[in-house]
Amino acid sequence: MTLVESTVTELTLKYGKERRQLLPILRGVYEKFHYLSDESMVEVARQLDISSAEVFGKATFYSFLSGSPQGEFVIRICKTIVCDMKNKKLIVDTLENLLKIKMGQTTHNRKFSLCYTNCLGLCHKAPAMLINNEAYTDLTPDKVRQIITSYKNR
């Protein structure tokens, strides 16, 4: 059994094989591999007995389920208007500068990825970003530097 097969098998044992378990299973695969490869989507389809196109459709609907390899820590910066007005640009510049990558890219050591996301619902504390499931708000360049340093040391 390949690693993909065993991972999906574990997940279907945990959640069951009904079609409605597709999302938790996809999340599980994502957490393990930091992305959904075509191989993993086919395996999920096979085990749930649904079509691979259906898995692909669901997976591409959710921005948090990336189809390309992501770093261990995915940094998502809100691209919506309030954060924009509160100087999101400065935060993006700081991040790109710290990590030496552009938005949409992943660092060579596969530790960090940078991308945009829609409104995080944290507009009252804009600008905001997410690192994996952790939210960071009222960002300033200094604060961002501290946060990234702490992640680099993890």
Partner 1 sequence: MENYITLTIDNREVTVPEGTSILQAAHKAKVNIPTLCYHEDLCVAGNCRICVVEVEGSRTLTASCSTPASNGMVIHTSSPVVRNARKDIIALLVSEHNTQCTTCYRSLNCELQSLAAEYNVDNTRYLSVLKPNIQVDRSSWSIEKDDSKCVRCQRCVRTCSELQHVNAITVAHKGKDMKISTFMDLPLNEVVCVNCGQCVIHCPTGALTERRYYDDIWEAIGDPNKHVVINTAPSVRVALGETLDYPPGQRVTGKMVAAMKKLGFDSVLDTDFTADLTIMEEGSELLLRLKKAFRDKENVALPMISSCSPGWVKYIEHMYPEHLDNLSTCKSPQQMFGTLAKTYYAHKIGVKPEDIVSVSVMPCAAKKYEANRPEMKASGFQDIDAGLTTRELGRMIRQAGIDFGKLEDEKFDSMMGDSSGAAVLFGATGGVMEAALRTVYEIVTGRPVPFKNLNIMAARGLEKIKETSILLKGCKPEWDFLEGVELRVAVAHGLKNARTIMEQIKRNESPYHFIEIMACPGGCIGGGGQPIPTNDAIRKKRIAAIYAEDEGKEIRKSHENPEIVQIYKDFLPEGPLGKKSHKLLHTHYTKRNRY
Instruction: Return the DSSP state at 150.
Output: H
In contact, 59 and 36? CB cutoff 8 Å: yes
Binding residues for partner 1, rule: CB under 8 A, are 38, 41-42, 45-46, 50-57, 60-61
Q: Which is nearer to ligand FES, 58 or 79 (CB)?
A: 79
Distance CA 24, CA 30 (A): 10
Burial class for 8, CB neighbours closer than 10 Å (0-12, 13-18, 19+): buried
Q: Which is nearer to partner 1, 49 or 142 (CB)?
A: 49
Distance CA 3, CA 133 (A): 25
Q: Which is nearer to partner 1, 38 or 138 (CB)?
A: 38
131, containing H or E segment = strand 129-131
In contact, 138 and 125? CB cutoff 8 Å: yes
Residue 56 partner contact from partner 1, ligand FES, none using kind-dependent CB cut-offs of 5 to 8 Å: partner 1
Query: From the list 11, 83, 95, 114, which residue makes contact with ligand FES (rule: CB under 6 A)?
Result: 83
Give me the least distance between CB of 63 and partner 1, in Å please.
8
Q: Is 130 a binder of ligand FES (CB under 6 A)?
A: no
Burial class for 105, CB neighbours closer than 10 Å (0-12, 13-18, 19+): middle
Give me the least distance between CB of 117 and partner 1, in Å please.
13
Q: Which is nearer to ligand FES, 50 or 82 (CB)?
A: 82
Q: Is 123 a binder of ligand FES (CB under 6 A)?
A: yes
The footprint of ligand FES (CB under 6 A) covers 78, 80-83, 119-123, 126, 128
